[in-house]
Amino acid sequence: MTLSPDIASQLDLVALPTDLYIGGKWMPGAAGQRIDVFDPSTGTAIAAVADASIEDAMAAVAAAHAAGPGWAATAPRQRSEILRRCFELMIENKDMLARLISLENGKSLTDAQGEVTYAAEFFRWFAEEAVRLNGDLSTAPSGANRILVQHQPIGVAVLVTPWNFPAAMATRKIAPALAAGCTVVLKPATETPLTAYALAALYAEAGVPDGVVNVLTTRKSGPVVSAMLHDPRIRKLSFTGSTEVGRRLLHEAADTVISCSMELGGNAPFIVFDDADLDAAIDGAMIAKMRNGGEACTAANRFLVQSGIAPEFSRRLAERMGALKVGPGYEASTQCGPLINQDAVERIEGLVSEATQRGATVLTGGKRLERDGFYFPPTVLSGVPTDAAMSREEIFGPVAAITTFETEQEAIAAANDTEYGLISYVYTSDLGRGLRVSEKVDSGMVGLNRGVVSDPAAPFGGTKQSGLGREGAHHGILEFCETKYIAVSW
């Protein structure tokens, strides 16, 4: 099954792969079922991908397991060169991949292009890490022997990814796994599978051997992933998605004591002190809130603004948000695309109405747009109570919730008053205060006078219920390694 010819030609491709990718072969799946993929900009179906059964998943596990020893034994330099080629092919195909992401996810072309670059950079970074996986050697304190420590590939990894970054959430896992010498089975989100399959074709072209990367889509995520996690050939789960599903998968992984890396939800505070550079804070707020139309785990969820600067900050943020051009993601002039689906529109509408019923004021936006597709306009609310639903949950859309505070202590307490701990943003001109607050906020990452922090060379991840482990940096490759200690006498 391929895409319709007009969309295929818009994407400069005759045909995009939509079948399962197992052991280097494209397969329709044992049961022959398909899953519709929708264009959120119009709400229409654009393609149908294969729907994997448990039997298909077991075939993928078998293929990854069979390819494991050969890939682990491949010289690090050779693995590195293949990863480097994946980076180059992604950049050569940047325009096509960006259109595809925009088409199935709805994000603006600008955001989609940014995502492709970011996603490709994980291959470049981990091509460099593949040849620097150093162990260490020391003498035991007793002097009796040497302590030799090695990092070995952990084995076959199951990778489960969300729809909000269809390329980057996959490459942030595949690149370090392959660099470490692991083979993988990727299960992308059913909403955005086309990018994952297009990338699989590029990996094959780059020289990734058959069976090293397998990709399957399924409507039965729960049973299919559970079956893989109960197979003794699987040694790793790397998951990015909601905290709710992450908790469930941690329970599943406990049965076979599988190593888990979990990148889960967020509820980022964006703290602005009276002494902040207001222009910089507004620019940072726009990026932290509106990158990906607000559908990002790192999205600023709670704007905590000191009372002296709050009226001006709120007015200017509403002005900038209200001026954004909303439309289909793949139209060049669009700055804010649609949400992923109708459920998302209804959920956000519910959050806005609950906050306004409890006293929040709408400064711009606030009501869904009546047009085909899944649109909610950029919205700013001031006076949002700290116990409103949108202060407690991920908004995951283009809605900025502003609350004021008086003192530094109050800001820190409010920032930490959540079960999440992915990222916090702090804006102040006082470096001492900036570093003091950065140390006290309970999150894995802090943007200090910066609205975006994601970087393949930096450790990405959260504290509390935002996750376990880190992706990117040197930490990312270690998530796919077992540490082996050899006591040596010589």
The distance from CA 89 to its chain's CA centroid, rounded to whole angstroms, is: 21
Stretch in the footprint of ligand NAD (CB under 6 A) among 174-182, 243-251, 284-292, 434-442: 243-251
Strand, helix or coil for residue 327: coil
Q: Per CB under 6 A, does 345 bind ligand NAD?
A: no
The nearest distance, CB 346 to ligand NAD, in angstroms, is 15
Question: Which member of 177, 189, 208, 351 binds ligand NAD (CB under 6 A)?
Answer: 189
Question: Which member of 2, 117, 221, 342 binds ligand NAD (CB under 6 A)?
Answer: 221
Strand, helix or coil for residue 217: coil
**Closest residue by Cα to residue 51 from 185, 228, 218, 224:** 218
Q: Per CB under 6 A, does 422 bind ligand NAD?
A: yes
Strand, helix or coil for residue 418: coil
For residue 309, count other CB atoms closer than 10 A to its CB: 18
Question: Which member of 467, 469, 472, 476 binds ligand NAD (CB under 6 A)?
Answer: 467
Residues 136-175 close enough to bind ligand NAD by CB under 6 A: 160-165, 169
**Catalytic annotation on 263?**
yes
Q: Which amino acid is at 15?
A: A
Report how far residue 196's alpha carbon sits from residue 224's, in angstroms, rounded to the nearest whole number.
18
The nearest distance, CB 209 to ligand NAD, in angstroms, is 25
What DSSP string describes 110-169? Answer: HHHHHHHHHHHHHHHHHHHHTT----EEEE-TTSSSEEEEEEEE--EEEEE--SSSTTHH
Q: Per CB under 6 A, does 225 bind ligand NAD?
A: yes
Q: Which of 182, 297, 336, 481 is catalytic?
A: 297
Stretch in the footprint of ligand NAD (CB under 6 A) among 32-40, 109-117, 235-243, 376-384: 235-243
Q: Which amino acid is at 22?
A: I
Radius of gyration of the chain (CA): 23
Q: Which of 263, 295, 394, 471 is catalytic?
A: 263
The nearest distance, CB 299 to ligand NAD, in angstroms, is 8
Report how far residue 186's alpha carbon sits from residue 284's, in angstroms, rounded to the nearest whole number.
33
Stretch in the footprint of ligand NAD (CB under 6 A) among 244-252, 268-276, 366-374, 379-387: 244-252
Residues 271-310 close enough to bind ligand NAD by CB under 6 A: 297
**Closest residue by Cα to residue 298 from 454, 98, 189:** 454
Considering the complex, state which of residue 68 and residue 166 has its C-beta at the smaller distance from ligand NAD: 166
The nearest distance, CB 99 to ligand NAD, in angstroms, is 21
| Cβ 20 vs Cβ 26: under 8 Å | yes
Query: Which tokens go with 203?
Result: 């990996």
Sheet (strand 136-139) strand order: 136-139, 146-153, 481-488
Report how far residue 16's alpha carbon sits from residue 6's, in angstroms, rounded to the nearest whole number.
12
Q: Per CB under 6 A, does 356 bind ligand NAD?
A: no
E strand or H helix at 435, and its extent?
helix 431-440
Q: Per CB under 6 A, does 351 bind ligand NAD?
A: no
Residues 248-267 close enough to bind ligand NAD by CB under 6 A: 248-249, 263-266
**Closest residue by Cα to residue 213 from 250, 176, 242:** 176
The nearest distance, CB 169 to ligand NAD, in angstroms, is 6
Q: Per CB under 6 A, does 240 bind ligand NAD?
A: yes
Q: Per CB under 6 A, does 110 bind ligand NAD?
A: no
The nearest distance, CB 467 to ligand NAD, in angstroms, is 6
The nearest distance, CB 201 to ligand NAD, in angstroms, is 20
Which residue ranges make up the site for ligand NAD (CB under 6 A)?
160-165, 169, 187, 189-190, 221-222, 225, 240-242, 245, 248-249, 263-266, 297, 394, 422, 462, 467
The residues carrying an active-site annotation are: 263, 297
